[in-house]
């Protein structure tokens, strides 16, 4: 099946079950994802960066970027989501395209792909395309759901899943193809010519989403624990650059 068509059908299936990218605990994850992103970009050059967001979805990251930066391009292959993003954010350029369909010679200072890699049919090919839009000083920032998140380890202990890398029915419904832990993700990045500069866990998540929604007074503390227990965060947040631009001492 055509990948773009598959993504649109996945979104339709999610809608039938009342699942959204920007609902429930995903809003909380997005808040702390964006907090990490802001901490990185505000300390980097240039001050007016050229940014490419791959996979705008419900716009939780797009809004964060649109409120702070003037040169933001977003790729969103789901037609209804792309139209909504363009309607909401007049200062953002939105293309209803996958990364592979994006035919441009542009180079970006930051490329952001939050929770996209796990949806791709071929993650090696995806990373190859990412590099095409990077110059020598570009940064690639991505997140993926973490196989070693505490809630998945708990699920294994309770025999809800057989292995922390197993895809649940919900994973399949939302189009996940695989899980990563930090070791696997870092190896994948290295294989495709990226060097990990830093990584964090996006909030420690000991329980499933429905329980986490009742624990709002603990969120800031769990966010801090994502720094000290970064290999067990709900998501892995990785800052990387092109490998050949690293000077090893």
pLDDT for 117 beyond 60 = yes
- Strands 134-145 and 194-204, by their bridges, are unpaired
- Asked if residues 72 and 66 have their Cβ atoms less than 8 Å apart, the reply is yes
Q: The whole model's pTM is what? A: 0.91
Query: Tens digit of pLDDT for each residue in 60-114?
Result: 999 999 999 999 999 999 999 999 999 999 999 999 999 999 999 999 999 999 9
Query: Tens digit of pLDDT for each residue in 24-67?
Result: 899 999 999 999 999 988 877 777 899 999 999 989 999 999 99
Domains within the chain, CATH numbers bracketed: 3-239 (3.40.50.150)
The C-alpha angle with vertex 196 and arms to 231 and 226, in degrees rounded to 5, equals 25
Looking at residue 8, its pLDDT comes to 59
The residues facing 204 across adjacent strands are 233
Cα 75 vs. chain centroid, distance in angstroms?
13
Angle between helix 25-41 and 219-228 (nearest 10): 50
The residues facing 144 across adjacent strands are 236
Q: Give the 3-state secondary structure percentages of the chain, helix then strand then coil, rounded to 5.
A: 45, 20, 35
Nearest to 11 by CA among 84, 90, 73: 84
Structure tokens at 64: 């964060």
Give CA–CA dist 201/222, Å, rounded: 10
């Amino acid at each position: 099946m055509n990948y773009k068509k598959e993504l649109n059908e996945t979104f339709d299936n999610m809608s039938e079950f009342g699942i959204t990218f920007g609902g429930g605990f995903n809003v909380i994850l997005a808040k702390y994802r964006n907090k990490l992103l802001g901490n990185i970009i505000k300390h980097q050059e240039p001050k007016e960066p050229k940014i490419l967001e791959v996979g705008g979805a419900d716009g939780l990251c797009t809004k964060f970027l649109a409120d702070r930066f003037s040169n933001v391009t977003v790729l969103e292959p789901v037609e209804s989501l792309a139209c909504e993003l363009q309607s909401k954010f007049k200062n953002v350029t939105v293309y209803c395209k996958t990364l592979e369909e994006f035919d441009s010679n542009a180079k970006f200072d930051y490329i952001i792909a939050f929770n996209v890699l796990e949806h791709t049919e071929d993650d090696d090919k995806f990373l190859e395309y990412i590099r095409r839009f990077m110059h020598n000083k570009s940064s690639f920032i991505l997140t993926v759901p973490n196989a070693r998140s505490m809630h998945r380890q708990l699920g294994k202990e309770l025999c809800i899943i057989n292995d922390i890398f197993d895809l649940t029915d919900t994973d399949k419904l939302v189009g996940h193809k695989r899980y990563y832990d930090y070791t696997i993700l870092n190896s994948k990045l290295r294989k495709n010519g990226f060097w990990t500069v830093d990584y964090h866990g996006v909030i420690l998540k000991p329980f499933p989403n429905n329980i986490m929604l009742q624990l709002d007074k603990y969120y800031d503390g769990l966010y801090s624990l994502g720094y000290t227990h970064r290999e067990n965060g709900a998501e892995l947040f990785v800052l990387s650059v092109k490998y050949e631009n690293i000077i090893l001492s």
